[in-house]
Amino acid sequence: MMEDLNLPFWIYLCIITVLVGGLLKKILASHVSATPTLVAWLGATVLVERLWSFWLPAVLLLALLGLACCLYSAATTPPSALPAQGKAVLITGCDSGFGKAAAKRLDALGFEVFATVLDPTGEGARELQRSCSASLTLLQVDITQPQQVQQALLDTKARLGHKGLWGLVNNAGVCVNFGDVELSLMSTFRGCMEVNFFGTLTVTKCFLPLLRQAKGRLITISSPAGDQPFPCLAAYGASKAALNLFINTLRHELEPWGIQVSTILPSSYKTGHSSNHGYWEQQHKQLLQSLPPALLEDYGEDYVVETKELFHSYARQANPDLSPVIDTIVQALLSPQPQARYFAGPGVGLMYFINTYCPFSISNRFLQKLFVKKKLMPRALRKQSGFDLSLHNNNNNNNNITKEDQQKLPHM
C-alpha cells in the first residue's frame, strides 16, 4: 500500500505532522492542567488516525512519540539556577501584596533588594525593615511622579556604584473600578492608565540603562484581564492591555542587549485593597454620588449594589497564598533561560488554553461564567422586558378570545 502513496501526500503529511507537533509543544509548555492536555493528546490521536489509518496505527505512533519525549526529558538535565548573591533587584509597589512578599523572599535568597513603597512609615515598610537584612533599601516612590522615580534611580546608582541592576520587577499597580463601562468614571480610566501603564513605563525607561549594563532581567506583573475582556473590568483591563503590548515590544527591542523580558500573569490572589471591605464601600458610595441621575435610573441602584457584592464575593474567594507568584518571580530572575510568559496560579493556563484553541462562542461563555456572574439586568431592560411580557400575554388573550368567538360564528 505504501508504494501507492505519491509525493504530494508525503509533503502534506510532513506539513500536518509539523503543525500537530508544534501545537502539542505549545500546549505542553503552557502550564495547563492535566485535563486539557489529555484532550489535546486525544485530539491529536484522532487527527493522526484519520491521516495514517492505512499506514501506522495512530495510538502506537503517539505511544512511541510519548516514549521518545520521556526519554528525552530524562536524558536532558535542566540547567541549574543562577546564584542570587551579588545580584541587585528593584521591586516596585512593596507596601503590600506581591511586592512585599517578593522583597522578603529575594532578600532571604541573598539578593540586594531595592524596594519602593508609597508610605515609608506605613505598616508594610516597617515590616520589611523588621524582617529583612540590612542590605535591603527602602525607596519612597510614587511611580506616577517622574521626579520621584528619577530620585530613586539616583539613590540606586549611588548604592550600586559601578555595578548594574540585575532585575527590575514592575509590580506596582491598581485596580480601582468595578462596574460596566458606562457606569465607570473617566477618572477611573485615567487613574488605571496613569499607574499601570504610564507609571510602569516611566520606571522601566529610567532603569533600562542599569539593566543594559548588567544584561539583566525585566519582569512585569500583569493580568489576564489585559488579554481577555473580563466583564466590569474595562478600565483595569485596558491599562494592562497597553502594558502587555509595551512589554512585548520591549522583548524584541532588548534582545540584542542581552536583557531577558518576562511577563507574569497571576490568577486571583488577595492583594492590596482586594479584601478591604471599607475600600469597596467607599468606591461604591463615590460611584453612586458621581453618576448622572438619569443613568442611575436606567441601570438601577440595585444593579450597582449587586456588582459591588459580586466583587466582594470574588475577593473573599481569592487565594491568600502568594507563593506561586513569588516562586515564579524567583524563577524568572534566576533561570538561565527564563520564559517570555508565566502563568502563576491555578486556572490561568486552562483559561488561556480555552481562549486560544476553542471557538469564540465557547471561550466567550466560559469567560462570562468565570468572573462576575450577574443575575440582575439593568432596570430599564427589566421594565422593557416586563412590558414586552405583558404585551405578549395580552396578545395571547386576544387571540384566544378571537378563536372562541370564531367558533360561535355560523359556518358558511
Show which residues are catalytic. 236
- Alpha carbon distance 225, 122 (integer Å): 29
Cα 207 to Cα 141, 168, 169, 337, 348, distances in angstroms? 14, 8, 11, 22, 30
The H-or-E segment that residue 134 falls in is none
Task: Determine how many CB atoms are found less than 10 A away from the CB of residue 162.
Answer: 6
Write the DSSP assignment of 216-241 as a string of letters.
-EEEEE--GGGTS--TT-HHHHHHHH
Q: In what order do the strands lie in the sheet with 217-221?
A: 137-140, 112-117, 88-91, 167-170, 217-221, 260-266, 341-344
3-state secondary structure at position 271: coil
- Alpha carbon distance 184, 286 (integer Å): 11
Q: Kindly give, in sequence order, each residue whose CB lies less than 8 Å from that of residue 28, ignoring residues fewer than 6 positions away.
A: 37
Q: What burial class does residue 15 get, using C-beta atoms within 10 Å of its C-beta: 0-12 exposed, 13-18 middle, 19+ buried?
A: exposed
- Residue listed under C-alpha cell 473617566: 186
Write the DSSP assignment of 142-169 as a string of letters.
-TT-HHHHHHHHHHHHHHHTT---SEEE
Pair 371, 231: CB distance under 8 Å: yes
Q: Which three cell numbers stand for residue 120?
A: 515609608
Pair 380, 298: CB distance under 8 Å: yes
Pair 216, 165: CB distance under 8 Å: yes
240 — phi, psi (to 5°)? -75, -30
**Closest of 265, 263, 262, 267 to residue 321, by C-alpha:** 267
Q: N- to C-terminal Cα distance for the chain?
A: 77
